[in-house]
Structure 1
Amino acid sequence: MDQVYLMQVFVAVSEEGGLSAAARKLGLSPAAVTRAVVALEQQLGIALLLRTTRNVRLTDAGQQYLEDTRAILASIIEANEKASGINAEPGGQLMLTAPVLFGRHFVLPCVLDYMQRYPGVEVNAQFLDRVVNLVEDGFDVAVRIGHLPDSTLRAVKVGRIRRVLCASPSYLAAHGTPAHPADLQGHTIVASSATTPRVEWQFRDGGDTSSVLLKPRLLVSTNDAALDAAIAGLGVTRLMSYQTAQAIDKGQLKVLLEDFEEEPWPVHLVHREGRHRSSKVRAFIDIASERLRTHPLLRN
């Protein structure tokens, strides 16, 4: 069998998590998919997949081979694009995701610029206050805020942001201003479960790191709801600096405990592809990187 075909089938099985699902994606019969995987394993002389009645799981060798195979297939696509001239004009659909407020204020302008430059592309932008799995959910690019875990994903750093504690002037006038993180135990807390379901805020205290476990009076599912509640004077909240910047500039919120803030968090554009990225992904990352790296709110 053709080696490229076998690789394509193997990647589909790995990403879909099963032979039947891969068969549906590729428009093949399950038997044809099984034959392709078996033929590839026989060629290599190793087991790539561990099969059960319900799903398949990659072996250690299979995981490594998957990454290498993705790179090879991407390089083939890139070579074909260069030969046909498509590389100069990205096309197809780009799937991307970002946090809600970050997506609205920072990513959407990048998307509009991208689409204006390349009329042949379509974009599906999902702005969600939760972390999605790029492989399982089929996304090409994601914005990640915070320190990245070790993974096979590729990342491009585009800035950094602070996590700021804030409250409205009216709330502080009525309840006082905390002077130390421990003082937060005596204040009304507004928190967003989009960041973490456990409200344990980290602070820097001199050269050490401390944490305060808090019970919020109001727990909401989105960051913008927490922002609105804080502006309305309900209590103290903690959000990213870009989320609070406008309200702080207008005097609707005041920043608290700046001397105890954690180190700023990095912002990355994360993608699944290696050096041989498809033209649509490469073009978007180039545009977004240039715009985000020069944005004043991402240079804290």
Structure 2
Amino acid sequence: MSLFAHVVDAGSVSGAADKLGLSKSVVSQHLKTLEQDLGVVLIKRTTRRQFLTEPGKRFYESCKALNQIAADAWDNVQAQQSEPEGQVHITAPHALVETLLAPVISKLMRQYPGVIVKLTCEDQHLDLMAHNIDIAIRIGASKDSTFRQKRLGVFRDVLCGHPRFKTVSLEQTPYVANAWEGESISHQLVSGNGESMMFRPKVSCITNAFHSTVSLIRSGAGIGLIPSFYLHNELPDVTALLPDESLPENPVYLLTPFSKHVPMAVKVCVDALSVHIQEQLLIHNG
């Protein structure tokens, strides 16, 4: 009923889908189910326009009132809440936590003691609805169009290793791979003058955790990829092996399942994370 009112207000299914942050197919299916349950046609549609039937006009008034009641109830609760409180579930890849998330989460905890942050570190893309996740920080865009996603910036991975590897042929050097790199690994490196080369490493070790990869690289077990922003931590025994060559950019996105009426605790976390991550990525890419 709520979606039906939004479709009427927006003038089309696609317009309502965009406003609500849902896919067009989801809105269409709900509208179809509603008409089947009622046993009447509410909207007649052509390729260019939609028209309310007589039953649809009467039903719309009730559905519009329902939406207004829900919006008023939400606004009243929000107005009574002077401070953000409640649990906010955040997920992010391991590599992003130490530099991009931990400082801002620490600040949020001090600023809003009523907010409880649940942080799930996971390199795989978790299902936001299945795991009840409020905010996801991801590397790469999401294919799920039902969620709002905001591009925060980019970073590049850097081919790193112990300084002793600077004088060794990289093709024959042991490579420590992150599990997300897959089984067949190849990296395109581009020089400052635009020339590109393909680097196909000799994989000798595969890890499923970012910090394990860093520890193995530091110990001299092999070479591997470390994000540019993480190198600003001045890691001992680690150096960029090809400082004049660059790997492709990795975009970072923030996703949330909320499109309207975002809980105050989630909103303050979204705002703080967005600002901090954007600033850090800009600094480390500057």
Residue 43 of structure 1 pairs with residue 76 of structure 2? no
**Residue number among 231, 236, 239 corresponding to 2:218 in the alignment:** 231
Aligned to 1:280: 265
Tell whether the 8 Å contact from 1:159 to 1:298 is kept in structure 2 after alignment: no
The CA deviation at 1:87 is 5.2
Residue 265 of structure 1 pairs with residue 250 of structure 2? yes
Q: What is the rounded CA distance, in whole Å, between the counterparts of 1:198 and 1:251 in structure 2?
A: 29
Aligned to 1:52: none
Residue 138 of structure 1 pairs with residue 141 of structure 2? no
The CA deviation at 1:274 is 1.7
Which shifted more, 126-135 or 192-201?
Answer: 192-201
Would the alpha carbon gap of residues 185 and 156 (structure 1) be closer, same or farther in structure 2, given more than 3 Å must change? same
Tell whether the 8 Å contact from 1:160 to 1:299 is kept in structure 2 after alignment: no
The CA deviation at 1:291 is 2.1
Q: What is the rounded CA distance, in whole Å, between the counterparts of 1:159 and 1:204 in structure 2?
A: 20
Tell whether the 8 Å contact from 1:99 to 1:128 is kept in structure 2 after alignment: yes
Q: What SS class does the counterpart of residue 265 from structure 2 fall into?
A: helix
- The superposition leaves residues 233-281 of structure 1 with CA deviations (integer Å, 9 ceiling, x where unpaired) of 12211121233332xx355211122433134322221111224423222
Q: What SS class does the counterpart of residue 145 from structure 2 fall into?
A: coil
The CA deviation at 1:220 is 1.4
Aligned to 2:159: 165
Would the alpha carbon gap of residues 243 and 124 (structure 1) be closer, same or farther in structure 2, given more than 3 Å must change? same
Aligned to 1:80: 73
The CA deviation at 1:99 is 1.3
The CA deviation at 1:229 is 1.0
Give the alignment of 1:167-186 within 5 angstroms: 167-172=161-166, 176-177=167-168, 184-186=170-172
Query: If you compute each CA radius of gyration, which structure gives the higher value, 1 or 2?
Result: 2
Aligned to 2:93: 99
Query: What runs of 5+ residues in structure 1 fail to find an aligned partner?
Result: 7-36, 47-72, 179-183
Q: What is the rounded CA distance, in whole Å, between the counterparts of 1:282 and 1:245 in structure 2?
A: 29
Tell me how large the CA RMSD over aligned residues is.
3.4
Q: What SS class does the counterpart of residue 293 from structure 1 fall into?
A: helix
Amino acid at match of 1:82: D
Q: What is the rounded CA distance, in whole Å, between the counterparts of 2:282 and 2:120 in structure 1?
A: 22
Aligned to 2:204: 217
Would the alpha carbon gap of residues 43 and 284 (structure 1) be closer, same or farther in structure 2, given more than 3 Å must change? farther
- The superposition leaves residues 174-216 of structure 1 with CA deviations (integer Å, 9 ceiling, x where unpaired) of xx255xxxxx322211111144444232333665765444341
Q: What is the rounded CA distance, in whole Å, between the counterparts of 1:278 and 1:289 in structure 2?
A: 16
Residue 151 of structure 1 pairs with residue 136 of structure 2? no
Q: What is the rounded CA distance, in whole Å, between the counterparts of 1:293 and 1:243 in structure 2?
A: 15
Tell whether the 8 Å contact from 2:228 to 2:284 is kept in structure 1 after alignment: no
Query: What runs of 5+ residues in structure 2 fail to find an aligned partner?
Result: 5-31, 42-65
Tell whether the 8 Å contact from 2:84 to 2:114 is kept in structure 1 after alignment: yes
Q: What is the rounded CA distance, in whole Å, between the counterparts of 2:197 and 2:127 in structure 1?
A: 30
Amino acid at match of 2:188: Q
Residue 191 of structure 1 pairs with residue 177 of structure 2? yes
Q: What is the rounded CA distance, in whole Å, between the counterparts of 2:172 and 2:261 in structure 1?
A: 54
Q: What SS class does the counterpart of residue 238 from structure 1 fall into?
A: strand
For these two proteins, the number of residue pairs brought into alignment is 233
Identical aligned residues as a percent:
23
Would the alpha carbon gap of residues 38 and 266 (structure 1) be closer, same or farther in structure 2, given more than 3 Å must change? closer
**Residue number among 226, 238, 257 corresponding to 1:253 in the alignment:** 238
Tell whether the 8 Å contact from 1:160 to 1:298 is kept in structure 2 after alignment: no
The CA deviation at 1:132 is 1.2
